[in-house]
């Protein structure tokens, strides 16, 4: 009963959205806003307009039926509960997309659909093929989502708001902005990858590895329609330019032809339906690219009609697979005798998909032809491509929805004995199939109240809307008749196509192979990067960390801050030069000497040289600390070095030369940074403030004592701790009996 109970949730939302429809038809838009990240201007803003209600009704209405269908399809499956959880997350994420009025919030829901669809497509996780194809869908749509986020950020900065409705209603013309091409391309990447537009079309047919309920939901009202929804949502903001029209019309035409031609070469029921989805998505994108009121109206009619018949056909295909164990149309025939209810639903859906009157699919096809005939430019091209596509779609509708049920006698060599699917799997297809018929018979009563506010929302201005099944004898009707004739002819040639195609269609595309090559390339790069950056050698880690820090400092200095001004070497005193030369010579001795004792004394000279620098620059306290610590260090090393083995050349000369050059470059960069820091003055010097505060605030007459004890007490505490440790070390070394061993015989 889990599926039946869970179906009540989306069904309740469906009813609630229906109650909002009269208000939306009167121009009353429902909004709800809650604070989320006010510092970033990101809020939980939801807006229900005509387009949101249309999509929401499809999502919830079909979603409720999908839950019922999944209850029968996965009956007894041990992971049925997990499947329902994934499906509910997916449904809620889609509702979030269609109602979100904040760009960042829309992106969050967008990515949630990608993640939840990944879990659904890969539901049969024990299969390598399912996991691979689920990952492919996630990576392709995720890549587009990240690009879309960048476009949203640019759009929010240009529009001065993260609210989609605020940007759409503002006087700003985004297409006239200098950043418009970048915004458009980034947003289109998100929409094209989600709706599988060329050249990202390859992932959608591969997603057929998902269970049939997922395929039915994903192809009809959810994920792949999200890209089309986004384009419709952004039409008032980004539409109307030649770039918008060129990209959408071009990609849409290529996708619709690719999908239809590929569908003809398939023999798997789900693959056939997947490629027809691809074709219809391309058709809707092309219509949105044309951007006329009639084209937008046609796209919305196809959006609704396709959702009804595609969900039906996918569920019927799933029922056939579930009850026969086969999806090969060459082996399926005559199933109407044993699956009458499924055959009835599939037949009605196929007729709607083929564009037969009085089904709602006929209206969508008619308005596509009407759109093409009213165009001023490229009318012939649009009509020719649309007609060729519709002919192939009609043949595919019969191939997937008629042939398995209305052919000859049922074959006896199927994996399972065919029988009718349970009620839960039949109810949804029958309801949706009858719905497609009723919307076509009564378009003015049922479809107009739903479609009119959606058209106004997409067009961005009020548009007169009317629907009728009969428009008289005209060019669209003639083209519809020619389409039916061409579709019948092509369907009659199906067996010749199957014989030529066989099990391996000859018409293949390299995009799937290109994706695999890119994927393998990234894996190879990741392996190489891991071997380089995580080698297990401390020396290499230090080189990477220090060189990265040095390069970033150098870039910061040269690009943003600027190199320090010319340093006057003659300002240095004789003692400064003397100490500098002494330190440099000592460093050279440390590097090249073969004696540890000599290296130790040279290190001591370097440390005492630093102490002299402190003294010359008025820091006797630091000098004292340095002298004590350096003395202790040298003495401690003297106790140790006599027990160490002799020097060995563990690194080749080439490596030592590289290390020396590397150290010199890093030292030069740090020196430049110090010189630059000396000339940077972020705030007035605090020295005079210490003099003023020492008596008034700290009640002390000696400024140095006050600084050490009050103003910089933590520094002083640290120095005292160092001196104390050094004193303890010296005491331990110099006490009587140090280094003497007791006689074991005493």
pLDDT of residue 450: 86
CA distances from 132 to 122, 137, 518, 575 (A): 8, 9, 14, 71
Say if CB 582 and CB 609 are below 8 A apart. Answer: yes
In a domain, 193, yes or no: no
Residue 268 lies in a domain: yes
Residue 13, in any domain of the structure: no
What gap in Å lies between CA 233 and CA 47, rounded to an integer? 12
Residue 432 CB neighbours (<10 A): 26
Cα 655 → chain centroid: 43
Q: CA geometry: angle at 147 spanning 145 and 153, to 5°?
A: 100
Query: H/E/C letters for each residue in 82-102?
Result: HHHHHHHHHHHHHHHHHHECE
603 is a domain residue: no
pLDDT number for residue 243? 93
The C-alpha atoms of residue 53 and residue 19 are separated, in whole angstroms, by 10
* pLDDT digit string, tens, across residues 15-70: 999 999 888 888 888 888 888 888 777 888 899 998 999 999 999 999 999 999 99
Share above pLDDT 70 across residues of the chain, in percent, rounded to a whole number: 92
CA–CA dist 363, 567 (Å, integer):
81
- Name the residue range of residue 446's domain: 248-462+478-503
The span from the CA of 399 to the CA of 395, in Å, is 6
In the predicted structure, residue 500 carries a pLDDT above the cut 60: no
Is residue 641 within 8 Å of residue 596, measured between CB atoms?
yes
Q: Which range (208-217, 503-512, 615-624) has the least confidence?
A: 503-512
pLDDT exceeds cutoff 50 at 473: yes
Which helix (H) or strand (E) segment holds residue 48: the answer is strand 42-48
pLDDT score for 63: 92
Q: Specify the DSSP class assigned to residue 489.
A: H
Residues above pLDDT 90, as percent of the chain: 30
Beta bridge partners of 328: 268
pLDDT of residue 505: 47
- DSSP for 513-581, please give it: HHHHHHHHHHHHHHHHHHHHHT-S-HHHHHHHHHHHHHHHHHHHIIIII-PPPPP-GGGS-HHHHHHHH
Is residue 407 predicted with pLDDT exceeding 80? no
Q: What is the number of domains present in the chain?
A: 1
* Alpha helices (H) in 36-179, listed in sequence order: 50-73, 80-99, 103-121, 128-159, 164-169
| pLDDT per residue as tens digits for the range 314-365 | 999 999 988 888 888 888 888 888 889 999 999 999 999 988 888 998 888 8
At 507 the pLDDT is 46
Q: Taking 70 as the threshold, does the pLDDT of residue 509 lie above it?
A: no
> Is there a domain that residue 300 lies in?
yes
pLDDT in tens, 668-684: 888 877 777 776 677 77
pLDDT at 461: 84
- Spatial CB neighbours of 388, under 8 Å, sequence gap ≥ 6: 257, 260
* pLDDT(591) > 90: no
Give me the mean pLDDT over the 286-300 stretch. Answer: 91
What pLDDT band is residue 688 in, cutting at 50, 70 and 90? confident
Of the candidates 269, 123, 213, the one whose C-alpha atom is nearest the C-alpha of residue 424 is: 213
Q: What confidence tens digit (pLDDT) does each residue in 109-161 have?
A: 999 999 999 999 988 888 888 898 899 999 999 999 999 999 999 999 998 88
Residues with Cβ within 8 Å of residue 118, at least 6 apart in sequence:
134, 135, 137, 138
Q: Indicate the SS3 state at residue 163.
A: strand
pLDDT above 90: residue 95: yes
| Cβ-contact 140, 200 below 8 angstroms | yes
- Contact, 13 vs 60, CB < 8 A? yes
* Cα(689)–Cα(698) distance, integer angstroms: 12
Average pLDDT, the chain: 84
Residues in the chain: 746
What per-residue confidence (pLDDT) applies to 574? 78
Read off the pLDDT of residues 231-245 as tens digits, 9 standing for 90 and up.
Answer: 999 999 998 899 999
Residue 266 to residue 17: CA distance in whole angstroms: 39
Can you give the C-alpha Rg of the chain in angstroms? 38
Average pLDDT of the segment spanning 363-378? 86
Of 111, 66, 107, 113, give the one whose Cα is nearest residue 94: 113
pLDDT of residue 570: 58
* DSSP percent split of the chain into helix, strand, coil, nearest 5: 75, 5, 25
Q: Is residue 254 part of a domain?
A: yes
Q: Are 512 and 206 in contact (CB under 8 A)?
A: yes
Residue 745 pLDDT exceeds 50: no
- Asked whether the predicted pLDDT for residue 693 surpasses 90, the reply is no
Q: How would you label 368-403 residue by residue, b for 16+ Cβ within 10 Å and e otherwise?
A: bbbbbbebeeeeeebbebbbbbbbbbbbbbbbbbbb
CA–CA separation, 724 and 584 (whole Å)? 31
What pLDDT sits at residue 503?
47
CB 148 within 8 A of CB 110: yes
H or E stretch at 654: helix 653-679
Q: Taking the alpha carbons of 79, 80, 85, 87 in that order, is the dihedral positive or negative?
A: positive
Helix (H) or strand (E) holding 33: strand 30-37
Closest CA to 368 of 454, 473, 298: 298
Token reading at 487: 């579709």
Residue 498 has pLDDT above 70, yes or no: no
In this structure, is residue 346 part of a structural domain? yes
Measure the CA–CA gap between 385 and 393, rounded to whole angstroms: 12
Q: Measure the CA–CA gap between 266 and 205, rounded to whole angstroms.
A: 11
Residues 105, 44 contacting (CB under 8 angstroms) = yes
203-217, 507-521, 555-569: range with highest mean pLDDT:
203-217
Separation CA 329–CA 426 (nearest Å): 20
SS3 per residue for 622-635: HHHHHHHHHHHHHH
How much is the average pLDDT of 251-279? Answer: 90
**Residue 615 placed within a domain:** no
Tell me if residue 34 falls in helix, strand or coil. Answer: strand
Give, in order, the Cα–Cα distances in Å from 24 to each of 4, 61, 185, 232, 449.
30, 19, 32, 18, 10
pLDDT value of residue 502: 46
Name the β-bridge partners of 564.
Answer: none
Angle of CA points 54, 57, 58, to nearest 5°: 85
Mean pLDDT confidence for 508-518: 75
């Amino acid at each position: 009963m889990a599926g039946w109970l869970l179906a009540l949730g989306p069904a309740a939302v469906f009813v609630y959205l229906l109650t909002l429809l009269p208000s939306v038809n009167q121009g009353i838009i429902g909004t709800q806003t809650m604070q989320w990240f006010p510092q970033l201007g990101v809020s939980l803003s939801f807006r229900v307009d005509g387009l949101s209600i249309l999509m929401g009704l499809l999502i919830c209405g079909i979603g409720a039926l999908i839950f019922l269908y999944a209850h029968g399809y996965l009956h007894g499956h041990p992971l049925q509960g997990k499947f329902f959880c994934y499906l509910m997350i997916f449904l809620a994420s889609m509702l979030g997309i269609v109602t979100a009025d904040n760009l960042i919030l829309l992106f969050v829901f967008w990515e949630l659909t990608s993640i939840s669809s990944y879990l659904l497509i890969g539901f049969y996780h024990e299969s390598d093929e399912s996991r691979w194809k689920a990952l492919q869908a996630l990576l392709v749509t995720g890549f587009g989502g990240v690009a879309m986020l960048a476009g949203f950020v640019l759009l929010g900065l240009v529009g001065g708001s993260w609210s989609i409705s605020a940007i759409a209603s503002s006087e700003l013309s985004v297409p006239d902005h200098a950043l418009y091409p970048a915004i458009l391309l980034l947003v289109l990447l998100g929409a094209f990858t989600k709706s599988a537009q060329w050249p990202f079309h390859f992932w959608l047919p591969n997603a057929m590895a998902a269970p049939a309920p997922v395929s039915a939901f994903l192809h009809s009202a959810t994920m792949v329609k999200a890209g089309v929804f986004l384009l419709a949502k952004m039409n008032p903001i980004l539409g109307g330019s030649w770039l918008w029209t060129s990209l959408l019309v071009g990609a849409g035409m290529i996708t619709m032809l690719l999908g239809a031609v590929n569908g003809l070469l398939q023999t798997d029921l789900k693959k056939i339906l997947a490629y027809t989805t691809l074709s219809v998505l391309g058709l809707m994108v092309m219509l949105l690219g044309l951007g006329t009121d009639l084209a937008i109206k046609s796209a919305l009619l196809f959006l609704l009609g396709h959702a009804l018949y595609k969900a039906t056909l996918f569920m019927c295909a799933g029922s056939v697979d579930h009850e026969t164990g086969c999806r090969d149309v060459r082996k399926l025939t005559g199933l109407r005798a044993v699956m009458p209810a499924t055959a009835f639903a599939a037949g009605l859906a196929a007729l709607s998909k083929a564009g037969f009157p009085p089904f709602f699919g006929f209206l969508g096809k008619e308005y596509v032809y009407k759109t093409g005939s009213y165009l001023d430019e490229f009318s012939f091209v649009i009509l020719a491509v649309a007609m060729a596509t519709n002919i192939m779609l009609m043949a595919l509708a019969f191939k997937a929805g008629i042939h398995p049920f209305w052919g000859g006698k049922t074959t006896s060599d199927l994996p399972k004995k065919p029988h009718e699917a349970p009620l839960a799997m039949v109810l949804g297809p029958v309801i949706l199939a009858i719905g497609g018929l009723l919307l076509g018979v009564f378009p003015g009563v049922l479809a107009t109240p739903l479609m009119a506010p959606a058209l106004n929302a997409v067009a961005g201005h009020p548009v007169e809307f009317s629907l009728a099944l009969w428009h008289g004898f005209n060019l669209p009707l003639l083209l519809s008749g020619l389409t039916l004739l061409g579709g019948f002819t092509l369907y009659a040639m199906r067996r010749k196509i199957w014989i030529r195609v066989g099990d391996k269609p000859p018409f293949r595309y390299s995009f799937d192979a290109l994706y695999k090559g890119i994927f393998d390339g990234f894996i190879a790069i990741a392996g190489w990067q891991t071997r380089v950056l995580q080698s297990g050698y401390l020396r290499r880690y230090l080189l990477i960390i220090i060189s990265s820090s040095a390069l970033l400092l150098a870039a910061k200095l040269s690009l943003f801050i600027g190199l320090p001004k010319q340093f006057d070497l003659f300002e240095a005193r004789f003692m400064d030069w003397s100490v500098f030369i002494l330190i440099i010579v000592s460093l050279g001795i440390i590097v090249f000497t073969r004696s540890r004792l000599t290296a130790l004394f040279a290190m001591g000279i370097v440390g005492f040289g630093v102490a002299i620098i402190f003294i010359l620059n008025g820091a006797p306290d630091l000098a004292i600390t340095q002298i004590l610590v350096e003395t202790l260090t040298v003495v401690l090393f003297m106790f140790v070095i006599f027990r160490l083995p002799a020097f060995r050349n563990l690194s080749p000369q080439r490596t030592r030369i590289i290390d020396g050059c590397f150290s010199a470059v890093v030292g030069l960069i740090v020196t430049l940074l110090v010189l630059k820091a000396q000339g940077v003055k972020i705030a007035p010097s605090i020295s005079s403030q210490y003099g003023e505060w020492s008596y008034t605030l700290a009640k002390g007459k000696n400024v140095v004592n006050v600084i050490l004890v009050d103003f910089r007490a933590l520094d002083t505490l640290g120095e005292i701790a160092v001196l104390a440790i050094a004193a303890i070390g010296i005491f331990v070394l110099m006490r009587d009996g140090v280094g003497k061993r007791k006689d074991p015989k005493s």
